[in-house]
Amino acid sequence: MNVVQSKFVLFAVAKINITRGAAFLVPRSKTISTTISAARSFGCEIELLCDSSNTVYDISNAIINSGEQVIIPTQQIRQTTTAWKLVRDVSLPANRSIEVVSPILQGENGRLRLKRTVEWINHYSSIGVDKRTGYHVHIGLEGIRFEGVQRLSQNWVKYEDAIDLILPSSRREDTNRLIRSVRNNSNFKGKTNKQVNDRIGRTKNMQQLRDLMNPGNRYYKFNLRTGSNRNTVEFRAHSGTREPGKMIMWIRFLVEFIEASARKNAPDNFLDIRAPVYKFKRLFMWVVCDTTLKNYYNQRRIKLDR
């Protein structure tokens, strides 16, 4: 048996009883077949509320039962790991919350791993979500040139209030200090869509673009200040959820949004009188041209508008 470094505890991929302070490392079981075509990488941060401090060990067991490895750091670590990670979320109540952080996942195989893991976690009734919790997704920018990230940024600002329509009211506009609006940040507020697009287009490098999109910190719905994960963009907008189907649809939407934005020409400017619903319809005509996603999110928009 190999003992892992003392800065975290690693639980093995096996059905074992977890005890505090245990440290095991056992070979992983085989994952789902990777014959599905490779696709863009992603990682998830799932914020959960729990009814006791012991829930972290229940979640650990669930992740192990799903066929994955999991670590519980004994100190704050932000680097990416090859295992699932359970960490304290300082934005949520102490001893009554946990953040489940996935390893880097990829394509359909990764989405299946996410689904399987969350389904196992959902066996425990001691966890939940509310308007304080979020579901954050990092998407890899591998293969996308700087100009593509500029166009992605332009499209986010252009459609941010349309995307708000598929979010609960607690996460819309600029009402939540942990998921600030990019469109209403100190660089863009009061500017026309054309002025914003032009300003993004004049940036010369990623540092300038980060400073423009996320002035001051990373707490924006669309975040380019991703620390050690420099070649990713983080989407913090989505509300907390335990539903694997909802998680996967959001990942599919984000990947489509990124691919189309990077591939197509710089977006045209909206007239500033255009309403969010008008923009929503154009979003699924011009950018995310997937009928399944269009129908799913149109139904969600209608449901949230009631």
For the chain, domains (ranges, CATH) are 40-133 (3.30.70), 139-304 (no CATH)
CA dist., res. 114 & res. 247, Å (int):
9
Mean pLDDT of 97-104: 96
Alpha-carbon distance 48 to 242, whole Å?
A: 8
| pTM for this prediction | 0.87
Query: Exposed/middle/buried for 269, CB within 10 Å: 0-12, 13-18, 19+?
Result: middle
Give the per-residue pLDDT at 24: 26
For residues 267-278, give the mean pLDDT: 97
What is the chain's mean pLDDT, rounded? 87
pLDDT at 84 exceeding the cut of 90: yes
Find the angle CA(134)-CA(139)-CA(223) to the nearest 5 degrees.
60
pLDDT score recorded for residue 74: 78
